[in-house]
Structure 1
Amino acid sequence: MVSPATSCGGFYKLLLIAYPCYAKNGGRYMDLTEDEIEAANRRGTEMLARYPAAVAVHYDRDSACIVISLSNGRKISVSPREIPGMELTSPEDLNGAEISPRGQGIHFPVIDADIFIPALLDSLGGHR
């Protein structure tokens, strides 16, 4: 088992003192076995192999679309109006988009919204 006590050092012990009921419940529900961690890592590796990563992103005012360049050389354009939760965004809201370290997500800090690239590609009907 990998527990908060071993993965977070003394911090878990401090939580037990300050917030005993919360920390105990968290320790019980968040303990993971090595097998569970390995399975999650395998799923992540498979997803990275299956979907191209975002390598660049910008908002194109002329087309009113978010343009995402992918690691396989393709570009996709999608209107924010087609993305749940982003229907009412302004062009200014889309400034400063950040690509996640592995390229599987795009974060828009102004509106605290995210696009998960695999889900977006699946919704567009393909990812190769």
Structure 2
Amino acid sequence: MEQREFVRAGKRAQLLQSSTPRAVRARYDARTRRIVVDLSSHVSIMFSPADIEGLENATRSALANVEITPSGFGLSFPGLDADIYLPALLQGYTGSRRWMATHLGQLGGKSTSPAKKRASRANGALGGRPRRRSRQR
């Protein structure tokens, strides 16, 4: 790495540290089944481990073993080999693109609305989905 790149990286790190809240305390709340993070901005956030890639199937004891990284920008779960980058979490990123697409797609498919119920009933009254026609040769 050249000296100029090193200096630029240092400036970016300083900007991030001065403009982004850092974790000062993190814990698993077994009563609410949430990870609670107290930030340097005097704001606390909480989230469900089920919504985070790598934590979705974790045990309570594994979730209770949460550590804050030295920078304060990350949470580490050593027993799970899982880490969370807080700036990304604060922007709504809860996993890799593929994991998020799968997880969010499942949630979207579960949505029900009055319009969706009406359409489903109307389709059922018509006999449901049409059968596929086999190709004639």
Give 1:109's aligned residue: 78
Q: Please say if residues 54 and 80 of structure 2, whose CA atoms lie closer than 8 Å, have aligned partners that are also in contact.
A: no
Please say if residues 54 and 70 of structure 1, whose CA atoms lie closer than 8 Å, have aligned partners that are also in contact: yes
Alignment map for 1:1-128 (pairs within 5 Å)? 32-123=1-92
Structure 2: tracts of 5 or more residues without a match: 94-137
Q: Distance in 1 between matches of 2:67 and 2:78?
A: 8
Contact 2:28 2:63 in 1 (8 A): yes
Rg (Cα) greater in structure:
2
Structure-2 separation of matches of 1:82 and 1:51:
23
Contact 2:36 2:47 in 1 (8 A): yes
Q: CA deviation at 1:56?
A: 0.3
* Counterpart residue type for residue 112 of structure 1: D
1:47 Cα offset (Å)? 1.1
Indicate the SS of the match to 2:54.
Answer: coil
Q: Secondary structure at the match of 1:111?
A: coil
Shift of 1:95: 2.4
Residue aligning to 1:17: none
Whole-Å Cα distance in 1 between the matches of residues 86 and 59 of structure 2? 21
Please list every run of at least 4 consecutive aligned residues from structure 1 whose deviation after the TM superposition is greater than 3 angstroms: none
Distance in 2 of aligned mates of 1:84 and 1:111: 11
Figure out how many residues of one structure are paired with residues of the other and give that number: 93
Q: Note the aligned Cα RMSD (angstroms).
A: 1.3
Aligned counterparts of 1:92 and 1:100: Cα–Cα separation in 2: 19
SS at match of 2:65: coil
TM-score for both structures, normalised by structure 2: 0.64
How far apart are the structure 2 equivalents of 1:50 and 1:88? 33
Q: Distance in 1 between matches of 2:84 and 2:15?
A: 19
* Superposed displacement of residue 106, structure 1: 0.9
